[in-house]
Amino acid sequence: MRKINEIFYSLQGEGYFTGTPSIFVRFSGCNLKCPFCDTEHTHGQWMEDDEIFFAISPFPASHLVLTGGEPSLFIDEALIDRFHNAGYFVQIETNGTQLLPENIDWITCSPKSDAQLALTKADELKIVFTGQDISVYDTFEAKYRFLQPCSNRNTDKVIDFLLKNPGWRLSLQTHKFIDIR
């Protein structure tokens, strides 16, 4: 059983895959309590794997995003294998505090606050910028590095940082700008 907040179909709104039609499996529950989190952790239902597959099956996309909350608390290698066997590309959005199954296709690590990271590398590192010192991530191995304004409130500070640090890219929450989930 896995606690699911919601399952829905939309466009990926953040990071490397922005604009990609995706099926979102949003897990409920997290080991951190971030003040800007957009998941209501008191909501959700416990679902069997068959129920999850039934819920995602009507959608035409093959890009699957495991998000949360913190999905690493609820997934395992067998579930990822089952997604792969059904033809899905599996992306996870994680805070990086838990180890992950090795068979995930794309890891988006979005560290929060001062939490100790269990991960040392990911496909993309996406920092929600609240003014914190991000030099602590200089040794984190990532193909892509994104800095994202916190709820689009401090975009000017993020742009200023990016212009001074061209190794980072801008990630906006485009789904909020175009008013989709």
The pLDDT profile of the chain, 181 residues, written as one tens digit per residue, is 999 999 999 999 999 999 999 999 999 987 777 666 666 667 799 999 999 999 999 999 999 999 988 999 999 999 999 999 999 999 999 999 999 999 999 999 999 877 899 999 999 999 998 888 899 999 999 999 999 998 777 899 999 999 999 999 999 876 666 676 7
- Is residue 41 annotated as part of the catalytic site, yes or no? no
Q: Which two tokens stand for residue 120?
A: 């040392």
Q: Single out the residue of 8, 10, 13 nearest to residue 26, CA to CA.
A: 8
* Cβ-contact 23, 63 below 8 angstroms: yes
- Is residue 155 annotated as part of the catalytic site, yes or no? no
Burial class of residue 27 in the structure, from the number of CB atoms within 10 Å of its CB (0-12 exposed, 13-18 middle, 19+ buried): buried
The answer to whether the pTM exceeds 0.85 is yes
- Is residue 150 annotated as part of the catalytic site, yes or no? no
Distance CA 36, CA 115 (A): 15
* Cβ-contact 154, 130 below 8 angstroms: yes
Host H or E run for residue 52: helix 49-56
Residue 151 pLDDT: 73
Which of 6, 51, 130, 175 is catalytic? The answer is 175
Distance CA 46, CA 4 (A): 6
Which of 34, 59, 161, 174 is catalytic? The answer is 34
